Structure 1
């Protein structure tokens, strides 16, 4: 265990004592990625962090901290599992089976991948994998033959799956994800996904490091965290819905060719600060991969907030027909006045669809935007601002109706 790692663990503990905001834990989580950690050191740090998570409750997440009772008579040694919730896992029903994961051995499984492997192939039942608080240092893959799986964490500041794969170490960016999902009807709730590989410098080759890759259809994410730097969230393919999520990165940190709707999400840049007066642009929020005008894909962000550090584009035209829309989004001054990039290929100016609608904040000033951005009016914006953009009226309300509450603002009209 190195001196640097020990100091970081101590710093995290001090921060937890003297502050009561969610952001302290977020900073602590992201700071782990500054270290090149082996599994033993990461496990040590995560064990130090996990009890601290219990001091924080996010706006939409609730979890129960387990206090261990020690007998007064000294006749019995207390077990870490003594106060484990007695109703976990609940009995199997006609529609749902629950598997339990706890790294301390209080469940049937100590790793998430072992629970995934135990699910039935092509099962029509929903398998809820209940994951106790803690950081699970493992690479997790859900194959196409494993549909209808739910990851249920205890809060995105309490439960996380982390790995440190990079493009160099994994055979390419697409395979570097800490968690990779290829099956349909996946749901994640109240859990974080992290890639703790060292943050790359601009221009580094093969340092892209994906925290989560979703390549299955009809997936939804509720109150989840995605922590990384370059290429954090690979929103690869399929129809997806993200609500109340925290997504952190630096360059192209939401990328792929999916058709996805993001609502009420925080998008946080960790690109290095740019000195005042310099026009350097060192980050990008999105990089969408649509390759044809006939392809019905794109990213839509509604009621989002964008902040953090660096000086960043809203999106880069990763592919010639890239499509990204921001609506009702608050943008800080980290957004470059130009807003968007064609990756130095002027031919893409005629084919991309970059749109903004009713956004606010210092970064939403469109007076200096690139000429090919769409200043959407009500009619132009309408197709992107309701659930039909992802055909959610056919699947989202059914597969995730237990997540939808009175604050659900997307129109079903």
Structure 2
């Protein structure tokens, strides 16, 4: 399944599922089954609870029998590996429990190997849990999902499905999702962050970020994104980090705008540099930008906002004026 088809069959449908079903009947197993039916690429055995067995040629077979025998590998002087599997086939069944087990301020890198599946949990990596890697099995196979909003979590900054406060965090081949209902422009308290990154020297390779308003809170620190897929509608990459996005797909899911209408219903970025002395900004290099709606490249969230797009292809969903200065023309001179 391509990432664009995920955009249609998974993310749009997942919002509809949650609005119509999950909010009434909070049953993660039901949501998991529906996500599988929507096309999210995960193993069929995830239909079953981890203590059950499933039929195979008329026999009961333990679902852990075909688990990779070399996972987790033995520790060495520089690396420890923990294993997360929702069926109970290795150390942990939740990502948060694996994070909690990491020694505070460890100098070794801890790789948390996360098997294919939908992990419906809110995950926090505290400042003391440094040098952690989330190793998924593919951004269309492994996802951490939650559904907080600014209203439900007492503020946008706290709504992230995953919140990373530690330094030297790495994520590979995994998706982060906030599946709260899609807000309309101007809706109050509907901001819903998929991940907040507040530690220094974080890196993401082959990751997916799914949400609507405020999907990726690139909060502070130095961060690198390579070959990532980032989807949203309003300010879906925001914060005051110093970040490089390279070879990434940026996809707007704002509502389509009829030909001839001049309304704006989305924005890609909202950078938060408050002073000209801050060495922060977003740089997008060799990226692609498309999707739906009629959107700005960014809004100057703070007076000295700074965003650069270089060697990036853009579809005609970008409004000709390009940027929005929050009705403060003095902000135009500092970084777009």
Structure 1 length normalisation: TM-score? Answer: 0.75
2:82 corresponds to: 99
The Cα offsets for residues 58-117 of structure 1, whole Å up to 9 and x where unpaired, read as xxxxxx998999776x6x620111101111111011111111111111111111000000
8 Å contact 2:54–2:63 — kept in the other structure? no
The Cα offsets for residues 305-350 of structure 1, whole Å up to 9 and x where unpaired, read as 0000000000100000000000000000000000001011122223
**Residue 270 (structure 2) pairs with residue 287 (structure 1):** yes
In the aligned structure 2, how far is the partner of 1:50 from the partner of 1:83? 20
Matched ranges for 1:196-345 at <5 A: 196-345=179-328
Matched ranges for 1:101-140 at <5 A: 101-140=84-123
- Please state how far the C-alpha of 1:50 moved relative to its aligned partner: 4.3
For residue 182 of structure 1, the aligned residue among 160, 165, 180 is: 165
SS in 2 for 1:272: coil
Identify which range, 42-51 or 227-236, moves more after superposition. 42-51
The Cα offsets for residues 285-309 of structure 1, whole Å up to 9 and x where unpaired, read as 0000001111000000000000000
Q: Which has the larger radius of gyration?
A: 1
**Runs of 5+ unmatched residues, structure 2:** 47-52
The Cα offsets for residues 182-232 of structure 1, whole Å up to 9 and x where unpaired, read as 000000000000000000111111100000000000000000000000000
1:192 corresponds to: 175
Structure 2 length normalisation: TM-score? Answer: 0.92
8 Å contact 1:183–1:217 — kept in the other structure? yes
**Residue 30 (structure 2) pairs with residue 44 (structure 1):** yes
8 Å contact 1:304–1:329 — kept in the other structure? yes
8 Å contact 1:66–1:84 — kept in the other structure? no
In the aligned structure 2, how far is the partner of 1:328 from the partner of 1:65? 41
Q: Which runs of 4+ in 1 moved over 3 A?
A: 38-43, 47-55, 64-72
In the aligned structure 1, how far is the partner of 2:157 from the partner of 2:321? 29
- Please state how far the C-alpha of 1:259 moved relative to its aligned partner: 0.1
8 Å contact 1:195–1:227 — kept in the other structure? yes
8 Å contact 2:45–2:54 — kept in the other structure? no
In the aligned structure 2, how far is the partner of 1:90 from the partner of 1:50? 29
- The alpha-carbon distance between structure 1 residues 25 and 346, as it changes in their structure 2 partners (threshold 3 A), is closer
2:7 corresponds to: 26
8 Å contact 1:50–1:134 — kept in the other structure? no
**Runs of 5+ unmatched residues, structure 1:** 1-19, 56-63, 355-413
- Please state how far the C-alpha of 1:29 moved relative to its aligned partner: 2.5
Matched ranges for 1:146-185 at <5 A: 146-185=129-168
In the aligned structure 1, how far is the partner of 2:270 from the partner of 2:168? 24
CA RMSD of aligned residues (A): 2.0
- Please state how far the C-alpha of 1:53 moved relative to its aligned partner: 4.2
- Please state how far the C-alpha of 1:256 moved relative to its aligned partner: 0.2
In the aligned structure 1, how far is the partner of 2:207 from the partner of 2:217? 14
- The alpha-carbon distance between structure 1 residues 224 and 289, as it changes in their structure 2 partners (threshold 3 A), is same
In the aligned structure 2, how far is the partner of 1:173 from the partner of 1:70? 45
Normalized per residue, the structure richer in strand is: 2
SS in 2 for 1:77: strand
In the aligned structure 2, how far is the partner of 1:342 from the partner of 1:21? 35
For residue 69 of structure 2, the aligned residue among 86, 110, 122 is: 86
In the aligned structure 2, how far is the partner of 1:71 from the partner of 1:277? 58
